[in-house]
Chains A and B, each alone.
Chain A
Amino acid sequence: MGLTFQSTQSCSLADIFQIDKKEQQNVIALAGNPNTGKSTVFNVLTGLHQHTGNWPGKTVVNASGKYKYNGSDNILVDLPGTYSLFASSAEEEVARDFICFGNSDAVIIVCDATCLERNLNLVFQVMELTDKVVLCINLIDEARKKNIQIDAKGIEKELGIPVVLCAARNGTGIRELKETVNKVAAGVMKPKPNTVLYDNNIEDRINSIKPVMEEYGRGINSRWLALRVMDGDKKLLESIFSNINPEVFKETFHTVRASEVQADKMNIRDEITKQLYKKAEEITDKYVKKDVSKSDRDRKIDNYITSGIFGIPLMLLVLAFIFWVTVSGANIPSSMIAGLLFRLEDKLTLLSNNLNAPGWLHGILILGLFRTMAWVISVMLPPMAIFFPLFTILEDLGYLPRVAFNLDHLFKKACAHGKQCLTMCMGFGCNAAGIVSCRIIESPRERMIAILTNNFVPCNGRFPTLIAVSSIFLAAKAGTGFGILPALSVTGLVIIGIAVTLLVSYGLSKTLLKGIPSTFTLELPPYRIPQIGRVLYTSIIDRTMFVLWRAVIVAAPAGIITWILANIYIGDLSIIGHTATILNPFAKLIGLDGYILTAFLLGLPANEIVLPILLMSYLSTGTMIEFESMESLRSILLEHGWTHLTALNVMLFCLLHWPCATTLLTIKKETGSIKWTALAAVIPTGIAIAVCFITSIIFRISGRA
């Protein structure tokens, strides 16, 4: 996926990264390391007027927003958080290409005041690309608490670019930042970056290549381009120099390369980075004063959070608490939304009767489309609106990376990344959101593993099915609510899901994903107090609404199709009835029946409608219905021949079967590959069938079926 040679050749990079702007509007890029509070700076500058999406053809978030200051209109583009611009990941590539090809009028680099040395590496790299740089040293409040003193004036003099000290959280320094950015964008202030000088060997070669770069480099900084020719970023160079006649291109680069035989890419990169960091070290030694005794608060907290004794129990408690709040808190709003939407359905029915609409139209639009959507929204929305903000709070607090750290040894045994446990947790909310969250795993192989196995944690669309079926068949007395035995069995199913995840992860990394590169580095950011406003905004807009919208567009047509299939009769059976009859022999083999399998197939768009479809087919009502009580559901299922084996296998199949359509679409988007999407459906389906087949054989042999 991503940019093919074809698309880059015609210099489409410039098209992708050009931001539409009116005259007198400034484009400002916001760059920085991860965990520097960059998004807080972004939010403080733009307010809530932002637009998020993906960079074309990339699974990298593209957020932009507008702000006005002193009569000038600014478009702020939030670049992905990166440690470097050497384009070793999709994020780094986007950040670099935007600074290269985006028509930005200024670049703000956000740094963490408590970790300046590491952050300066990126600052130097950006300074090599453009002069219009403003350094924003953020989290200055946190630094003061840790007794870190920063001499901004000194750093400004040393770097040759304006430096602003900020604490974006409480607005400190934001006015000054806006003022400085305006001046730089307008050309009133002209920064003169003191870029790092490398040793003579490298500098000589830079100077020998520079003239060619000046001639053909499309206005991109020639010193920077010369460095890239030397450390060999082929893809970038080909796209920049695509306007040169290919023969001349080849020749030019051949001569340039031939003149530096001894220079292999690895050594040059090492040398460049070493020099950049050396300079960063010098500057921080000179201008940052630290009182070490006060800076170990995080370590004290970590003594508990990541300790061998407390770490894992604490984590289980926190997660259990979040799930409990989500499940118990979602019931009331769920039934309220359901009540509201179903009352609206009655009104719509009345309206269509008054308009004398034909029965089939009423069926398709109201009993099919509307009812399915109402179902999906009322089941999905409340738990997600509770779960995602809670999860985001843990994320902002800095707790989640510690969870990944604590559990990494388990995931390592399965050849997976510790962060996969976070994507799995997200999967409990919604598998599609879980798959998007796999972006936090930088290592390509482990990211793919996490994407392909996310489906084995049951999402909140499948939990109701698991809970209903286990309550009916395991509660001592039906109708007594959710007892201890069903709770245990649902927990057992979750554990089976996790076990399958780990097994499949192991299998994938030893077979299909063998050879795909893998790295493990995990930053544990300082603990920070989350900002509730931002948490609510990002989790509601970015996660909840995103997932809900996708679910609705998939579920709406599915509602229509299901209604049609249930209401068109051939002979004395509906199409669903016929399908069930055809599937029955195979379904029986794996301990289910034809109707159950049909319901799972029709439930592809959204798992929450599986049980309603099943009841509709069993009772031949033609529209989806909710069961009135556990007792009535129990008797319907028993009448249709359900045994303990059927119940067990329905739960297992529900846990292990193919992902829903929303999830599959998301996998397609994230991997950009039909092949991986197909595998993401085939692997779980195969496992579900195999497991159900085995359990039914065991039941038969032991004479219990």
Chain B
Amino acid sequence: MLKLDDVSVGKNVTVNDLSSTELLRERMLALGLTKGARIEVIRKGPSGDPTVYNIRGAMIALRKEEASLVSVVPF
């Protein structure tokens, strides 16, 4: 299964499932990471982490650890 942190910059994907729990899951949902949501990978930070994503029109940075909890499919 493809994880969000494996997607390279410039690609678009859609969310398939979240494996985060509790607080982090709530936050991810609140930011709009629901099943089927489209995500664009915008850029990586100066050392390659965290990465900025376009999630429902907002620029949200996630660390590798968080992004790896989002399974995605190519758009």
In the complex, which residues 1-40 of chain B have their Cβ closer than 8 Å to any Cβ of chain A? Answer: 18, 21-32, 34-37
Which of A405-413, A546-554, A653-661 participates in binding chain B?
A405-413
Which of A80-88, A243-251, A612-620 participates in binding chain B?
A80-88
* Residue on B nearest A298 in the bound complex, by CB: B59
Is the pair B57, A306 in contact by a Cβ cutoff of 8 Å? no
Bitwise, B46-75 to A at CB < 8 A (1) or not (0) is 111110100111111111011000000000
- Chain A contacts for B66, CB-based, 8 A: 519-521
Closest Cβ of chain B to A82, distance in Å, is: 8
- The answer to whether A307 and B46 touch (CB under 8 A), given A277-B32, A412-B63, A524-B61, is yes
Complex Cα gap A637–B4 (Å): 61
Is the pair A521, B27 in contact by a Cβ cutoff of 8 Å? yes
Is the pair B57, A114 in contact by a Cβ cutoff of 8 Å? yes
A672 CB-CB contact with B under 8 Å: no
Complex Cα gap A337–B11 (Å): 58
Is the pair B49, A412 in contact by a Cβ cutoff of 8 Å? yes
- Chain A contacts for B61, CB-based, 8 A: 405, 408, 521-524
A273 CB-CB contact with B under 8 Å: yes
- Chain A contacts for B37, CB-based, 8 A: 277
A302 CB-CB contact with B under 8 Å: yes
Complex Cα gap A583–B25 (Å): 53
A347 CB-CB contact with B under 8 Å: no
Task: Choose one: B26, B36, B48; the contact of A274 (CB below 8 Å).
Answer: B36
Task: Choose one: A88, A266, A524; the contact of B60 (CB below 8 Å).
Answer: A524
* Residue on A nearest B23 in the bound complex, by CB: A517
Is the pair B46, A306 in contact by a Cβ cutoff of 8 Å? yes
Is the pair B22, A83 in contact by a Cβ cutoff of 8 Å? no
Which interface residue of B21, B25, B28, B50 has the most chain A CB atoms within 10 A?
A: B50
Is the pair A84, B43 in contact by a Cβ cutoff of 8 Å? no
Bitwise, A117-130 to B at CB < 8 A (1) or not (0) is 11001000000000
* Residue on B nearest A116 in the bound complex, by CB: B57
- Chain A contacts for B31, CB-based, 8 A: 83, 118, 521
Is the pair B30, A406 in contact by a Cβ cutoff of 8 Å? no
Is the pair A520, B62 in contact by a Cβ cutoff of 8 Å? yes
- The answer to whether A117 and B32 touch (CB under 8 A), given A405-B45, A520-B63, is yes
In the complex, which residues 306-354 of chain A have their Cβ closer than 8 Å to any Cβ of chain B? Answer: 306-308, 311-312
Is the pair A409, B34 in contact by a Cβ cutoff of 8 Å? no
Is the pair B56, A308 in contact by a Cβ cutoff of 8 Å? no
A115 CB-CB contact with B under 8 Å: yes
Task: Choose one: B23, B30, B48, B63; the contact of A83 (CB below 8 Å).
Answer: B30
Is the pair A88, B26 in contact by a Cβ cutoff of 8 Å? yes
A299 CB-CB contact with B under 8 Å: yes
Complex Cα gap A111–B63 (Å): 27
- Chain B contacts for A278, CB-based, 8 A: 34, 36
Is the pair A520, B65 in contact by a Cβ cutoff of 8 Å? yes
A442 CB-CB contact with B under 8 Å: yes
Task: Choose one: B27, B47, B48, B59; the contact of A524 (CB below 8 Å).
Answer: B59
* Residue on A nearest B51 in the bound complex, by CB: A405
Is the pair B52, A273 in contact by a Cβ cutoff of 8 Å? no
A542 CB-CB contact with B under 8 Å: no
A176 CB-CB contact with B under 8 Å: no
Is the pair A306, B26 in contact by a Cβ cutoff of 8 Å? no
- The answer to whether A299 and B42 touch (CB under 8 A), given A83-B30, A88-B26, A273-B30, is yes
- Chain A contacts for B55, CB-based, 8 A: 118
* Residue on A nearest B48 in the bound complex, by CB: A409
- Chain A contacts for B57, CB-based, 8 A: 114-118, 284
Is the pair B34, A408 in contact by a Cβ cutoff of 8 Å? no
- Chain B contacts for A121, CB-based, 8 A: 30, 32
Total number of A-B contacts with CB less than 8 angstroms? 122
- The answer to whether A519 and B56 touch (CB under 8 A), given A277-B32, A311-B46, is no
- Chain B contacts for A270, CB-based, 8 A: 18, 29, 34-35
- Chain B contacts for A114, CB-based, 8 A: 57
A578 CB-CB contact with B under 8 Å: no
* Residue on B nearest A418 in the bound complex, by CB: B50
Is the pair A306, B27 in contact by a Cβ cutoff of 8 Å? no
Is the pair A405, B35 in contact by a Cβ cutoff of 8 Å? no
Is the pair A88, B42 in contact by a Cβ cutoff of 8 Å? no
A669 CB-CB contact with B under 8 Å: no
Task: Choose one: A280, A302, A519, A523; the contact of B58 (CB below 8 Å).
Answer: A523
- The answer to whether A306 and B60 touch (CB under 8 A), given A83-B27, A83-B30, A412-B49, is no
- The answer to whether A302 and B26 touch (CB under 8 A), given A121-B32, A521-B31, is no
Is the pair B58, A86 in contact by a Cβ cutoff of 8 Å? no
Is the pair B32, A522 in contact by a Cβ cutoff of 8 Å? no
Which interface residue of A280, A308, A521 has the most chain B CB atoms within 10 A?
A: A521
Is the pair A269, B29 in contact by a Cβ cutoff of 8 Å? yes
Is the pair B47, A522 in contact by a Cβ cutoff of 8 Å? no
Is the pair A520, B59 in contact by a Cβ cutoff of 8 Å? no
Closest Cβ of chain B to A510, distance in Å, is: 16
Closest Cβ of chain A to B46, distance in Å, is: 4
* Residue on B nearest A85 in the bound complex, by CB: B30
Complex Cα gap A312–B24 (Å): 29
Closest Cβ of chain A to B35, distance in Å, is: 6
In the complex, which residues 10-38 of chain A have their Cβ closer than 8 Å to any Cβ of chain B? Answer: none
Is the pair B29, A308 in contact by a Cβ cutoff of 8 Å? no
Which interface residue of B42, B45, B65 has the most chain A CB atoms within 10 A?
A: B45
* Residue on B nearest A443 in the bound complex, by CB: B23
Is the pair B58, A273 in contact by a Cβ cutoff of 8 Å? no
Complex Cα gap A278–B28 (Å): 15
* Residue on B nearest A315 in the bound complex, by CB: B46
Which interface residue of A274, A406, A442 has the most chain B CB atoms within 10 A?
A: A274
Is the pair B26, A117 in contact by a Cβ cutoff of 8 Å? no
Bitwise, A252-289 to B at CB < 8 A (1) or not (0) is 00000000000000100110011001101100100000
Is the pair B32, A86 in contact by a Cβ cutoff of 8 Å? no
Closest Cβ of chain A to B4, distance in Å, is: 13
Complex Cα gap A412–B49 (Å): 10
Is the pair B45, A306 in contact by a Cβ cutoff of 8 Å? yes
- Chain B contacts for A284, CB-based, 8 A: 57
Complex Cα gap A517–B37 (Å): 26
In the complex, which residues 137-165 of chain A have their Cβ closer than 8 Å to any Cβ of chain B? Answer: none
- The answer to whether A405 and B30 touch (CB under 8 A), given A118-B57, A274-B36, is no
Closest Cβ of chain B to A297, distance in Å, is: 12
- The answer to whether A408 and B49 touch (CB under 8 A), given A274-B34, A302-B43, is yes
Complex Cα gap A162–B73 (Å): 38
6 A–B pairs (Cβ distance < 8 Å), ordered by A? A270-B34, A274-B35, A308-B47, A405-B61, A406-B45, A418-B50
Binding site for A on B (CB under 8 A): 18, 21-32, 34-37, 42-43, 45-50, 52, 55-63, 65-66
Give 3 nearest A-B pairs by CB, closest first: A84-B30, A88-B26, A83-B30
* Contacts A277-B34, A298-B59 known; 16 new A-B pairs at CB < 8 A: A83-B30, A118-B58, A269-B25, A270-B29, A270-B35, A274-B35, A277-B37, A312-B46, A405-B45, A405-B52, A408-B63, A409-B50, A519-B23, A521-B60, A524-B61, A525-B59
